[in-house]
Amino acid sequence: MLDLSFLGQTILNGLSVGCIYGLIGIGFCVIYNASGIVNFAQGAFVMLGGMITYVLVSLNVPLILAAAITIICVALVGVIIERIVVRPLWDRKATMFVMILATLAAQIVIERATLIVVGDQPKSLPVFTDLPPLRLFGIAIGYQTLWIFGTSIVLIIALGLFFQKTLVGRAMRACAINREAAALQGIQVSHMLALSFALSAGLGAIAGILVTPTQFTAFNVGTPFAISGFIAAIVGGFGRPFGAFLGGLTLGLAQALAVYSLGSGLKNMAALSVLLLFLFLRPSGILGSAK
Amino acid sequence: MTNSPATISSKLMAALRHAPAIAAAGMVAYAIADGGYIVTVVGFGLIYTIFVAGLNIFMGYAGQTSFGQNAFAAIGAYASAVLTATYGWPPLLAALAGIVATAICAFVIGYPTLRLKGHYLAMATLAIGLIIYEVAVQWQSVTNGYMGISGIPALGIGHYELLSDRAQLIFLAIMAVLSLAASWLLRHSRFGRALVALSGSEDAARALGINVRQYKLTAFIISAIYASISGTLFVHIVGFISPEMIGMNMVILAFTMLYVGGIGTTTGPLIGAIVIGLLPESIRSFKDYQDLVYGAALILILIYAPGGIASLDQVVKKLLRTKAPAKEVAP
């Protein structure tokens, strides 16, 4: 009986971290849809989200304000990367591989700059609601978990409305379907590229802020998060934002079950194995590729 | 005024084309003659020359993507380290075992992975590099986890051991020259031409009767063997290996070297490895900023000089052309 509730706890934790992977995965899709670029610097946004909030909170800025400032700052970082790394390569018609390498290098630069500024000690944030966890059938549901679920659902709905109802969102979807045709309709494709980086960086930052109280953040957490987000995007069928969220939940669950049955040392290896399995057996993901 | 301007510039171009490689070779010769601290730095550069030369075969010649070459350096390095330090094998035998193990792993990994294209291939190879890193951390009974393995003996056969720094450097220089020579021969063989053809267009290469999958896999295995050799040399020269030495930063470093030197050129790996290897020594207290500078340099090179130092002559040619377009037009 005790074991069963432990399994339930494991599943709950898996789904909660899966939401985070899903948000990062959506970030991959948003940029990919607008430009065909896979931004390997995605993890840096997650790391910066947690890290800048930590720095602001330690300067006695209230958490909500700190989070808001952080999201704006990280979105700006996204636009800066787009301007000084991606745009010049885009204009020179760089190959896909060069683009990946450049964004990966941008990730390393941000990581190392963070290391120099804040040091290598892991940092954490206080939980948003400091109350004892709810108990349900012997499963402890922390308020942070509820925050993660709640924020993710709100974001998914907001993104859905944004892509369906607003002119800008529909313009971005048009770019995803056919960039040349979108340009002929008068859509500023290059603006959409910058906007997609801002949006994706903001999502990454939110994911980073949400997850930091349950784990910790350090200069080098970005790459594992980016890989998990990428796996989520692949599992969901690359280029499908909501597929990516489902993929994130799947990955979080698979990872939690692997840890449950095989031990915590295998957490990253389980995620990477899910990636390779999908790549080899079903590269178009659960829902099928967007293109 | 016996030479026309055109011949002067073409001679200048020929000199320029070979100058970086000659300078890099000169640096190695200077280190051998000097024998001081520079030996360590250049030795490190020569080990990386071999690693990057392997990367160059798979990426420069065949135009494929691999972010996971550190995996194969790790397999070579750990095979040598464990077999010599833990089981007392002679280094040469351990190195051979490491190379065979790497080739088998490269075949097993490459067979399914190389079917992938584009960012799928990039991410799959990145994942393979990270899996090997995780294995090196987690498989404590063999790899000793984060603590790493120390007490690895120097290279040697029987009672002859390469103990002095200078002897080691000469040996590394010979290995680097051999690996570059092999790379050159490969590039100018039927096999190398096939790789260049498939890097241009796989469909066209297939139409010419090239077995694209088999050639890609063979190139992958060859580059893995290069990585394995460099990993083995590294552990025997340094005498120590830990997971941190084979992580992601190794991949970024190798790519920076490849692009600085000039991707797709035979001597590019040597030039890049020596230049990037010497960089930390020319700026004091550079160590903290090392990876940051490598990353930033890589971005700048990718944007402004994708051909690297080896394409310097073409950059100069372009400059001359824009300054004096009339000369180029004249027959």
pLDDT, tens digit (0-9, with 9 covering 90-100), for A136-169: 777 777 778 888 898 999 998 998 888 888 888 8
Q: With CB atoms and an 8 Å threshold, state whether B130 touches A265.
A: no
For residue B134, give the nearest of A98, A234, A269 by CB distance. Answer: A269
Classify residue B178: in a domain, yes or no.
yes
Q: Is B228 within the bounds of a domain?
A: yes
- Residues of chain B contacting A117 with CB distance shorter than 8 Å: none
pLDDT digits (tens, 9 = 90+) for A246-260: 889 988 888 888 887
Query: What's the total number of domains in chain B?
Result: 1
Please tell me the predicted confidence (pLDDT) of residue B330. 41
| Between B176 and B247, the higher pLDDT residue | B176
The interface residues of chain A toward chain B in range 80-139, judged by CB-CB distance below 8 A, are: 85, 88-89, 92, 94, 96-98, 100-102, 104-106, 108-109, 111-113, 116
* Residue the block writes with tokens 């040996």: B171
**Least CA distance to B297: which residue of chain A?**
A105
The answer to whether A227 touches A271, Cβ cutoff 8 Å, is yes
Q: B268-295 burial, b if ≥16 CB within 10 A, otherwise e?
A: bbbbbbbbbbbbbeeeeeeeeebbbbbb
Chain A residues within an 8 Å CB radius of B65: 97, 100
> Does B289 score more than 90 pLDDT?
no
**CB neighbours (10 Å) of residue A24?**
32
Least confident of A52-61, A228-237, A278-287, B114-123: A278-287
ipTM computed for the complex: 0.80
Instruction: Compute the distance between CA of residue B41 and CA of residue A124 in angstroms, rounded to an integer.
Output: 39
A227 contacts B252? CB cut-off 8 A? no
Question: Does B12 map to a domain?
Answer: no
Task: Look at residue B102 in the predicted model and tell me its pLDDT.
Answer: 93
Within 10 A of B21 (CB to CB), how many other CB atoms are there? 21
Give the whole-angstrom CA distance, residue A73 versus residue A198: 10
Run of H or E residues at B157 = strand B156-157
Question: Is B5 inside a domain boundary?
Answer: no
Residues 6 or more apart whose CB falls under 8 angstroms from that of A169 comprise: A161, A162, A163
* pLDDT number for residue B326: 45
pLDDT band at B288 (very low <50, low <70, confident <90, very high): low
CA–CA dist B91, B158 (Å, integer): 9
Domains by residue range for chain A, with CATH: 2-120+141-281 (1.10.3470)
Contacts 24+ apart (CB under 8 A), B10-13: B12/B316, B13/B313, B13/B316, B13/B317
Q: Strand, coil or helix: what is B114?
A: coil
Tell me the HSE value of A97 on the side-chain side, using a 13 A CA sphere.
Answer: 18
> Does the beta-carbon distance from A105 to B123 stay under 8 Å?
no
The answer to whether residue B306 neighbours chain A at the CB level (below 8 Å) is yes
Phi, then psi, of A136 in degrees rounded to 5: -140, 115
CB contact under 8 A, B130 and A279: no
Q: Is A136 helix (H, G, I), strand (E, B) or coil?
A: strand
Continuous H helices in A36-95: 42-58, 63-81, 87-91
Is the minimum CB–CB distance between A269 and chain B shorter than 8 Å?
yes
For B26-56, write each residue's pLDDT tens digit. Answer: 877 877 777 777 788 888 888 999 999 999 9
DSSP SS3 for B149: strand
Contacts of B120 in chain A (CB under 8 A): 234, 279, 283
**pLDDT at residue B73, as a whole number:** 92
Cα–Cα distance measured from residue A38 to residue A200, given in angstroms and rounded to the nearest whole number: 12
A95-112 average pLDDT score? 86
Q: Which pLDDT score, from 0 to 100, does residue B260 have?
A: 84
Report yes or no on B2 lying in a domain. no
- Is position B6 within any domain? no
For tokens 């591989």, what's the residue? A97
* Region class of B65: left (phi > 0), else alpha (psi between -120 and 50), else beta: beta
- The pLDDT, as a whole number, for residue A291 is 45
B132: which 2 tokens?
A: 């090997």
Q: Work out the burial of residue B63: count CB atoms within 10 Å of its CB; fewer than 13 is exposed, 13-18 middle, 19 or more buried.
A: buried
What's chain B's Rg over C-alpha atoms? 21
Q: Domain holding B24: CATH number?
A: 1.10.3470
Flag if B298 and A96 touch (Cβ within 8 Å).
no
Percent of chain A with pLDDT over 70: 95
Is A233's Cβ below 8 Å from some Cβ in B?
no
The Cβ of residue B328 has, within 10 Å, a number of other Cβ atoms equal to 11
What pLDDT was estimated at residue A1? Answer: 46
pLDDT bin (cut points 50, 70, 90) of residue B1 is very low
- d(CA B15, CA B22) in angstroms, rounded, equals 10
For B23, other C-beta atoms within 10 Å of its C-beta total 13
Q: Is the pLDDT of residue A286 over 80?
A: no
Domain containing residue B71:
18-325
Query: B323 or A175, which is more confident?
Result: A175
